[in-house]
Chain A
Amino acid sequence: MGATRTAAGATAAATATATGTAAGATLKDATAIAGIGQTPFAKRLPESEKTLACRAILAALDDAGIAPSEVDAFASYTMEETDEVEVAKAIGAGDVTFFSKVGYGGGGSCATVAHLAAAIATGQASVGVAWRSRKRGSGPRPWTNTRAQLPTPAQWTRPYGLLRPADEIGLLARRYMHEYGATRDHFFNVALACRNRANQNPAAIMYDRPLTREMYMTARWISEPLCLFDNCLETDGALACVVVSAERARDCRQRPVYVHSAAQGLPAQHHGMVNYWNDDPLTGPSWTAARRLWKTADFGPQDVDVAQIYDAFTPLIPLSLEGYGFCGRGEGAAFTEGGALEIGGRLPLNTGGGGLSEAYVHGFNLITEGVRQLRGTGTAQVPGATTCLVTAGEGVPTSALLMRS
């Protein structure tokens, strides 16, 4: 199956390459992720974010078999403290002809790959690197930030005690539960699926820490209705991936993982981290990104073998399942029942452990895990997986990728 699907992917890629930059050109399979790299994940790492970034990027280039001097494009997303000037200089990149930084923190993860893919497909660059380096395990916490100037939108939320993202998502989660009968057991299904996968992944922070329903139900509250296990892990660590043309990728060390479709999403009348002021706050940016994502894809949600869905908080999963079309409106919680998100289930989820149980590095580990699944090298491998959805932060202006082998 793998060989057949690879041939199909290669054919599609060749077609896309042949059409090149002509009018009507598409991103579809024109580029591929050829290398991935990461540092260890830990609550605390001694090295600086810049050092960690360089380690991850060099590991990704080594994985691809591409020399650092060939890198001519960089993409990152905001809240990244290591900028492309420093990184390019440190790793010994050549002349850089494309760089971009996507806004809205965790919503930008997938867009970095999309920007590189667009740049390479249109001839603006040939070897692109996207990365994330983060020391939040030992870094600043939102609830210690008192004196800093409040960002303008926060005048409507923060003084009232919506201090942390968990508080903002908790407000949406409560309404979601009220409107659709979602329960804490549904959120537990999400937390458990991620934890079970982390228990198979030696690189995961929660590798040796199984989760039970009793632990979940008796855990301390963070922001009711969200408990400790509904929240991601603040982690130190860095990751990177290398994007090249599909043609080039076929000559690299690893099996190419094609960038099949990509989209960003900022819904009409959206507002920063939360959209309480939209007509319909329970349809977030994922809905907007999804419409574009599927429009330019050769397959639909029913054909996705494995999903890496941004999981800073468990309720984001049912909301995203609805947004990306895996089920109908209000059906996301029920979708998680019966082991649907486990290996062998309807939609295996966050197979490295995700932000909830592998590492919370603003979602970049979801991209690298998606690549591993399509290479067939996941620690919790979905047998024969050839298609993968990866999403960025829901709630904020977001982005998503469809990848195929």
Chain B
Amino acid sequence: MTQLDTTTGATTDTTTAATTAATTAANGGGEGSDGLLAPVPDEDGAPFFAYAARGELRVQCCADCDEPRFPPRPCCPHCQSFDCLWKKLSGRGRIWSYVLPHPPLLPAYAAQAPYNVVLVELADAPRIRLVGNLVASADAALNSVPPERIRIGAPVKAAFHAADGGLTVVRWLLERP
């Protein structure tokens, strides 16, 4: 299945991307050597992680009406089309909210607590918000940004972290660190 990437104009084979992610996911699911939980993508979500592994932030869009949707699913809630493509986004957004979990937590998370979890509203798709972590660099600890530096509305950009489980997760860096 070859589909048009509407942002770059290039064609993208989403089937291959999805298969790669699904294969990788079979190795994940539990905790990696860092103890953090690896995502367990489903069939609809797998392309997201496959693109992330290439350093791309893409979201599922309807191939007919162009409406972006998240989380990924089989058909478009606006026009009911089953055809989709994965649109490449700028990777920019703003913090919509954040929380600072404290123990009791799973051991690997407790070891980094209090860490942050941010909800990022995407600049190119304002109704799509991604849960992630605000970090000092892609591979830094979940608590690498001091809480006092986090504020709602702060501009952020996507970074890509190859998690121990074999999947790549999207993380977030402050635009103005």
Contact = CB atoms under 8 A, between A and B. Distances in A.
A220 B114 CA distance: 12
Interface residues of A, number: 40
A175 B152 contact: yes
A271 B40 CA distance: 17
A171 B117 contact: yes
Contact of A159 (B38, B114, B129): B38
A161 B109 contact: yes
A37 B128 CA distance: 45
Contacts of A271: 71
Interface stretch (B1-9, B10-18, B82-90, B91-99): B91-99
A178 B71 contact: no
Contacts of A156: 39, 45, 71, 130-131
A171 B119 contact: yes
A2 to B, nearest CB: 46
A167 B104 contact: no
Nearest to A221: B102
Contacts of A166: 101
A178 B142 CA distance: 23
Contacts of A170: 99-101
Interface in B123-140: 127-133
A159 B37 contact: yes
B17 to A, nearest CB: 16
Contacts of B40: 149-150, 152, 154-155
Interface in B22-49: 29-31, 36-42, 45
A226 B130 CA distance: 21
Which of A160, A220, A271 has its CB near the most chain B CB atoms (within 10 A)? A160
Interface string A145-165: 011011011111111111110
Contacts of A221: 100, 102, 114
B101 A175 contact: no
Given A171-B119, A277-B71, A160 B98 contact: no
Given A156-B131, A161-B115, A175-B152, A223 B97 contact: no
Contacts of B132: 160
A147 B131 CA distance: 21
A214 interface: no
Nearest to A271: B71
B147 to A, nearest CB: 8
Interface size class of B (residues with CB under 8 A): 35 or more
B133 A161 contact: yes
Contacts of A174: 97-99, 152
A171 B30 contact: no
Interface string A264-285: 0000010100001101010000
Contact of A162 (B31, B41, B117): B117
Given A152-B42, A156-B71, A171 B102 contact: no
Contact of A277 (B45, B114, B128): B128
Given A149-B40, A174-B97, A178-B97, A224 B119 contact: no
B152 A157 contact: no
A317 B71 CA distance: 28
Contacts of B106: 143-144, 146, 163
Contact of B100 (A154, A155, A223): A223
Interface string A321-342: 0000000000000000000000
Given A143-B105, A161-B109, A277-B129, A155 B99 contact: no
A160 B104 contact: no
Contacts of B70: 277
Interface string A221-259: 111110000000000000000000000000000000000
Nearest to A170: B99
Contacts of B115: 161
A221 B117 CA distance: 15
A155 B117 contact: no
B145 interface: no
Given A150-B29, A276-B119, A276-B129, A163 B101 contact: yes
B163 interface: yes
Given A149-B29, A277-B70, A277-B71, A163 B105 contact: yes
Contacts of A149: 29, 40
B146 interface: no
Nearest to A269: B77
Nearest to B110: A143
A89 interface: no
Given A152-B40, A164-B101, 12 more contacts: A146-B31, A150-B29, A152-B45, A154-B40, A158-B37, A161-B117, A161-B133, A167-B117, A175-B96, A221-B102, A269-B77, A276-B129
Interface of A: 141, 143-144, 146-147, 149-150, 152-164, 166-167, 170-172, 174-175, 178, 220-225, 269, 271, 276-277, 279, 281
5 contacts: A150-B40, A160-B131, A221-B114, A224-B147, A279-B127
Top 10 A-B residue pairs of the complex, sorted by shortest distance between their CB atoms: A175-B97, A170-B99, A224-B100, A155-B39, A221-B102, A159-B37, A171-B99, A152-B42, A174-B97, A223-B101
